[in-house]
Amino acid sequence: MSEKTASGVTYTKAGAGYFEKRSLKRTAGFWGLWGIGIAAVISGDFSGWNVGLATTGWGGLLIATIVIVVMYFTMIFSIGEMSAAMPHTGGAYSFSRAAMGPWGGFVTGLAETIEYVVTTAVIVWFSGSYADSALHALAGISLPAPLWWAILYIVFVGLNSLGASIGFRFALIVAIISMAVILLFAVLAMVNGAIDFSRLSDIAPKDGNSSFLPFGAIGILFSLPFAIWFFLGIEELPLAAEEANNPARDIPKASVWGVITLAFFALVVLFLNPAVTGSKAITVSPGDGDEPLLAGFRAFLPDNVAAILAIAALIGLLASLQGIMFAYGRNMYSLSRAGYYPKFLSLTGRKHQTPWVALVIGAVVGYIILFIVLQIIPSANKDLASTASGVILLIAVFAAVISYMMQMVSFVVLRRKFPNARRPYKSPTGVVGAVVALVIAFAAFLGILTNVAFGTAVVTFVIIFVVGVALFALIGRHNLVLSPEEEYALSGGLHGDPQAEGYDVMEADVFDKK
């Protein structure tokens, strides 16, 4: 087999039929992309965000959320520019590969894999909790958590394997239903007179601090990772580039409108949910901590009605399960197609043309993570950031902020490194916006790293990350393929658009030249 070595990695010739066995189908327009983006994130309004109240207080989380809104706008503008210039599935890996070489691409891609696989696991955890609460209230039956996880993974791997058109359509429908559930909660809470804004700051202040910032200004820093949970996943849209009809136009547009939509619903939930239950109630109780919106419904509705609405709330979690599973499937697909991960992970089905192997392997890894975490971390703990659900959530956010920082550095580098590359969309905030997003992402990184309560999550992430890097150093870097992402990087931004050029346009030049 022909080989070429460059930048410390070895490229091998793909061979006949390689890309045909790894083909995706273009089916998504603006609404499909917007729907998959909202679906991937909307569960953050149903569970997870409230974990931050225990160590930061409501005021800290409010300020952090406003800061994170700024970060996501400036970051999405930057990612939109890069995704329009690089309309292939690689996403974050592709951006960093072009800017910082194969190692930079791998580090970013690995961080994003951890982010999406673990985020899927978090959502499976919360979905199982909501589903079991509803089942117990309606039928008096309860199922073991590992059984719920298996059911959820099997159903959604199957759904994601049925084809992108079905997946996009399903995501759009459940995203709309999920937003309707949040609006229903807001309306019912107001009609029933259940809202009392004095409950927002009912956590007792420590060491003479105010009730607004019960843990002091440092609480704002520690809140940043949980504020990210309201938005984590919207940056996945570049991964749909080879399944979008017009990726250069629709991905930036859908991303920006996605952040606008998510910011609105984040503020609705942040103000109204704890105003109904009290902030303290959804931080100290492990049950309500996993189901804050359901706790809100229970506060002013009969149990049987709340149980029915729990099923409606569950739809929000299932929406994100669909959306974020799409993300890890395409992330693993692109990295394996290029040879960074084992190549068999990028195989797609002949009929539906979805990366079913990557979907299955990601589900197996996620299930194992959940099972291990359940065994080693107590589920009943007053500090929800130290419970199993809190730990896996923080692993996902920690991986995300590393990916965000790498992407913003890539944006700045690419503006200088590839000045002649085609950029159909340009960020309105430019390099300044990317730097602002980088600084805020770094602050969130410090917020996780410096809080001793988050130590288990950090150590777990580092172990997974080091193992991944070691495997790439020993095996992966010797087996790369000239996928569109690699062609873009090696050509200085002149090749790599599979929609316009097809695949492996550079192979003859690279491997056949004497």
Domains and CATH numbers, the chain: 3-511 (1.20.1740.10)
Between 310 and 438, the more confident residue is 438
Q: Are 297 and 303 in contact (CB under 8 A)?
A: no
Residues paired with 244 in a beta bridge: 28
Question: What pLDDT, on a 0 to 100 scale, did the predictor assign at position 286?
Answer: 45
Considering only CA atoms, which of 407, 432, 76 is closest in space to residue 252?
76
Question: What pLDDT, on a 0 to 100 scale, did the predictor assign at position 387?
Answer: 67
284 pLDDT band, cuts 50/70/90, is low
pTM of the model: 0.92
Distances (CA, A) of 437 to 35, 74, 165: 24, 6, 33
Burial 67-95 (b: 16+ CB within 10 A, else e): bbbebbbbbbbbbbbbbbbbbbbbbbbbb
- pLDDT of residue 385 exceeding 50, the answer is no
- pLDDT of residue 491 exceeding 90, the answer is no
- pLDDT of residue 362 exceeding 70, the answer is yes
Give dist(CA 492, CA 479) in Å, integer. Answer: 21
Question: What pLDDT, on a 0 to 100 scale, did the predictor assign at position 119?
Answer: 92
Concatenated DSSP letters of 203-244: SPPSTT--SSSTT-THHHHHHHHHHHTTTTTGGGGGGGGGGB
Question: What pLDDT, on a 0 to 100 scale, did the predictor assign at position 155?
Answer: 95
**141-151: average pLDDT:** 92
- pLDDT of residue 104 exceeding 60, the answer is yes
Number of alpha carbons in the 13 Å side-chain half-sphere of residue 282: 33
Number of alpha carbons in the 13 Å side-chain half-sphere of residue 464: 23
DSSP letter at 18 equals T
Mean per-residue pLDDT over the chain, rounded: 89
Q: Which amino acid is at 508?
A: A
Considering only CA atoms, which of 129, 224, 204 is closest in space to residue 446?
224
Which of 15-24, 179-188, 224-233, 262-271 is predicted least confidently? 15-24
Between 380 and 127, the more confident residue is 127
378 pLDDT band, cuts 50/70/90, is low
pLDDT in tens, 106-133: 999 999 999 999 999 989 988 888 888 8
Tokens of 123: 């959502």
Q: Are 469 and 477 in contact (CB under 8 A)?
A: no
Question: What pLDDT, on a 0 to 100 scale, did the predictor assign at position 508?
Answer: 67
Give dist(CA 496, CA 82) in Å, integer. Answer: 13
- pLDDT of residue 234 exceeding 60, the answer is yes
- pLDDT of residue 382 exceeding 70, the answer is no
Question: What pLDDT, on a 0 to 100 scale, did the predictor assign at position 289?
Answer: 55
- pLDDT of residue 219 exceeding 80, the answer is yes
Distances (CA, A) of 75 to 150, 255, 262, 328, 470: 35, 10, 15, 20, 30
Q: Are 72 and 358 in contact (CB under 8 A)?
A: no
Distances (CA, A) of 43 to 33, 266, 338: 17, 11, 31
